[in-house]
């Protein structure tokens, strides 16, 4: 996470947020490659890799699914997000306000902020499994644990959450610096986890590592499950256009290839390494295998691994809390950023107490994308198709409306139907529905805009 | 300081990945591997701020 998972901090926050980025502020590809590589080597990768094993992915399906899915994600960033970002050079929020109106953007901000808090909560949970390792009284959560595992666990989570919130309230510059220093080292620790685990495996046959047998009552996924997850775990960022905040600074379209660093170093290699850690636990303990990242990493590479889990969780949770605070501040502009970040930190810490967000991370990330990505379809229609189809572009700005009903329905209805369909058709992961929901949103926005604008309702 | 910190930092990265590689090849035990990785981690975080561009 992400990343899946990880919200992106613009290279120059609070700059040009209500205007086009001027030419002199544009950045070359080098600025983006390092940033994406670091941002997609996060604490949650330690959770996603093991979950693939727990969802019964076979070796061939894992490798092929990751190669194809990550390629599709890179192509989406390169040929959809980057062209839109370069054409507009606005933040997502600024463009949304022109299309949807101020009030609808407020609703989007709330959904965004809340989902950021839950995501940061999962990162706090992951960090707590590392901090808890030296304390035998801390009961590590397992697949079945949705509730806090005890007082000691709760105390560790609250301490980590409080510390992360305190730092986030002071801004994110120090954490961003530590994240940049840590990035190359963290990637090597991920690789080290794999190297140090292989000799301990009782069998190195690929079919004995990725057995294809689900663990902990999870449904089985194969190639399509891995492919869709790899493609859409960052759907909010590429299809949902959240990365416009970053890529609006891109000097040329080739900057859009930079996410490849995050996808292939972070998601491919880190997920495979992390999945090896859990495969070893399964070979050693069978059904009793623990999925908690802290103990697994400590077993493989010792204290350096624990430090890596904490730093990876910290450096991703902090900007997430910060961004959630900004989203909440967008709802109530009179509230100070410090208060908004405190609220976000409290919600995040409360979420971190419940291991369900981490243990069901594949599901949560899928829902996260399904809720936020459809907004990107509305932007794509507005930018590329509106003129050709005779629809007014930037309708809210042109009509002076603060609430575009067509945009609201085109966002909410397909997402709600997608959520229902995941349960009704027993899809193993919500990411199966992300693309249909996104396409449905775009199509519905075209139809509703045409009907409403024909009837004189501009927005 | 910057002149020394860069090679020392790179050595720390080497000290992060080489021990598990040696462990994989059966040339190093598990505990010394862990200890070397921890020392390398500390050295990396001391030296990186001295030469790395972080912004």
C-alpha–C-alpha distance, residues A368 and A361, integer Å = 10
Quote the domain boundaries for residue A46: 23-361
Q: Does A196 touch chain B (CB under 8 A)?
A: yes
Residues of A in Cβ contact (< 8 Å) with B26: 199
CA atoms within 13 A on the CB side of B27: 7
Q: Enter the ipTM.
A: 0.95
Residues of B with Cβ-Cβ distance to A198 under 8 angstroms: 24
Is A438 within a domain?
no
Any domain includes A441: no
Range of the domain at B22: 2-48
Q: What is the mean pLDDT of chain A?
A: 89
Q: In this predicted structure, what is the pLDDT of residue A1?
A: 55
Residue A169: name the closest of A350, A344, A342, A352 by CA: A342
Rounded-to-integer distance, Cα A150 and Cα A256, Å: 45
Show residues of chain A in contact with B21, CB under 8 Å.
195
- Write the pLDDT tens digit of every residue in A384-434: 999 999 999 999 999 988 899 999 999 999 999 999 999 999 999 999 999
Is the pLDDT score of A5 beyond 70?
no
Predicted pLDDT at A15:
55
**For the purposes of burial, counting CB atoms within 10 Å of the CB of A203, is it exposed (0-12), middle (13-18) or buried (19 or more)?**
exposed
Contacts of B1 (CB under 8 A, 6+ apart): B50
Domain count, chain B: 1
Per-position b or e across A426-436, b if 16+ CB within 10 A of its CB: ebbbbbbbbbe
Q: Is residue B17 part of a domain?
A: yes
- A244 lies in some domain: yes
Spell out the residues 6+ positions from residue A9 whose beta carbon is closer than 8 angstroms to its own: A172, A176, A319, A322, A323
B54 in a structural domain? no
Nearest by CB: B20 against A176, A184, A195: A195
What is the pLDDT at residue A172?
Answer: 64
Nearest residue on chain A to B42, judged by CA atoms?
A304
Residue found by looking up tokens 């689900």 in the block: A214
Residue of B9, B36, B45, B54 to mutate, interface with A, max A Cβ within 10 Å: B54
- B37 lies in some domain: yes
Beta bridge partners of A4: A2
**pLDDT value of position A457:** 61
Inter-chain CB pairs, A–B, below 8 Å: 74
Check A301 against B21: CB less than 8 A apart: no
Whole-model pTM? 0.89
Specify if B29 maps to a domain: yes
Q: What is the pLDDT of residue B54?
A: 55
Which chain B residue lies closest to A10 (C-alpha atoms)? B55
What average pLDDT does the segment A230-258 reach?
Answer: 93
CATH number of the domain at A81, please. Answer: 1.10.4160.10
**pLDDT at res. A458:** 54
First-to-final CA distance of chain A: 35
pLDDT digits (tens, 9 = 90+) for A87-132: 999 888 889 999 999 999 999 989 989 998 999 999 999 999 999 9
Q: What is the pLDDT of residues A423-457, one digit of tens each?
A: 999 999 999 999 999 999 999 999 999 998 877 66
Q: Is there a domain that residue B6 lies in?
A: yes
* Domain assignment of residue A294, yes or no: yes
Number of domains chain A contains: 1
A337 occurs within a structural domain: yes
Checking if the pLDDT of A200 tops 60, the result is yes
Contacts of B55 in chain A (CB under 8 A): 177, 180
The pLDDT of residue A209: 87
Question: A333-355: per-residue pLDDT in tens?
Answer: 888 888 988 999 999 999 999 99
DSSP annotation of A4: B
Residue A210: inside a domain, yes or no?
yes
In a domain, A332, yes or no: yes
Q: How confident is the model at residue A6 (pLDDT cuts 50, 70, 90)?
A: very low
Domain assignment present for residue B55? The answer is no
Give the Cα separation of A346 and A318 in Å (integer): 13
Q: Does A405 reach chain B within 8 Å, measured CB to CB?
A: no
B16 neighbourhood in chain A, CB within 8 Å: 185, 188-189, 192, 304
Binned at pLDDT 50, 70 and 90, residue B17 comes out as very high
Q: What pLDDT score was predicted for residue A391?
A: 92
CA-nearest residue of chain A to B28? A196
Is B19 part of a structural domain of the chain? yes
């Amino acid at each position: 996470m992400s990343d899946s998972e990880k919200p992106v901090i613009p290279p120059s926050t609070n700059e040009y947020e209500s205007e086009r980025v001027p030419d002199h502020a544009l950045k070359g590809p080098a600025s983006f490659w390092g940033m994406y590589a670091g941002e997609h080597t996060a604490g949650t990768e330690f959770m996603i890799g093991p979950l693939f094993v727990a969802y019964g992915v076979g070796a061939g399906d894992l490798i092929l699914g990751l190669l194809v899915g990550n390629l599709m994600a890179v192509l989406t960033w390169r040929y959809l997000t980057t062209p839109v970002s370069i054409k507009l050079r606005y933040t997502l929020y600024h463009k949304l306000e022109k299309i949807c109106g101020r009030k609808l953007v407020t609703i989007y901000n709330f959904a965004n902020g809340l989902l950021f808090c839950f995501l940061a909560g999962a990162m706090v949970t992951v960090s707590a499994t590392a901090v808890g390792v030296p304390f035998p009284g801390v009961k590590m959560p397992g697949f079945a644990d949705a509730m806090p595992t005890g007082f000691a666990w709760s105390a560790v989570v609250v301490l980590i959450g409080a510390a992360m919130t305190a730092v986030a309230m002071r801004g994110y510059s120090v954490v961003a610096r530590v994240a940049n220093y840590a990035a190359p080292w963290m990637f090597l620790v991920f690789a080290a986890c794999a190297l140090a685990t292989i000799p301990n495996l009782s069998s190195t046959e690929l079919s004995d590592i990725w057995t294809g047998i689900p663990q902990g009552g999870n449904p089985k996924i194969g190639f399509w499950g891995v492919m869709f997850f790899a493609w859409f775990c960052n759907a909010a960022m590429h299809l949902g256009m959240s990365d416009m905040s970053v890529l609006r600074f891109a000097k040329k379209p080739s900057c859009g290839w930079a996410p490849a660093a995050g996808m292939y170093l972070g998601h491919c290699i880190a997920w495979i390494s992390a999945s090896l850690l859990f495969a070893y636990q399964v070979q050693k303990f069978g059904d009793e295998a623990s999925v908690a990242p802290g103990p697994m990493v400590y077993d493989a590479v010792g204290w350096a691994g624990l430090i890596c889990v904490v730093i990876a969780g910290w450096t991703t949770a902090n900007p997430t809390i910060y961004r959630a605070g900004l989203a909440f501040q967008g709802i109530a502009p009179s509230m100070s950023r410090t208060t908004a970040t405190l609220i976000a930190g409290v919600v995040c810490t409360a979420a971190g107490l419940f291991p369900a967000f981490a243990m069901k991370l594949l599901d949560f990330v899928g829902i996260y994308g399904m809720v936020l990505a459809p907004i990107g379809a509305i932007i794509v229609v507005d930018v590329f198709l509106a003129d050709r189809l005779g629809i007014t572009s930037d309708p809210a700005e042109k009509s002076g409306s603060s609430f575009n009903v067509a945009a609201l329905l085109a966002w909410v209805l397909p997402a709600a139907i997608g959520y229902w369909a995941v349960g009704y058709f027993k899809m193993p992961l919500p990411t199966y529905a992300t693309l249909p929901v996104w396409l449905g949103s775009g199509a519905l926005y075209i139809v509703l805009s045409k009907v409403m604008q024909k009837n004189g309702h501009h927005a | 300081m910057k002149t020394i910190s860069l090679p020392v930092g790179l050595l720390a990265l080497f000290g992060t990945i080489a021990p598990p590689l040696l462990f994989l090849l059966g040339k190093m035990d598990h505990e010394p591997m862990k200890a070397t990785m921890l020392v390398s981690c500390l050295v990396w975080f001391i030296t990186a701020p001295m030469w790395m561009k972080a912004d």
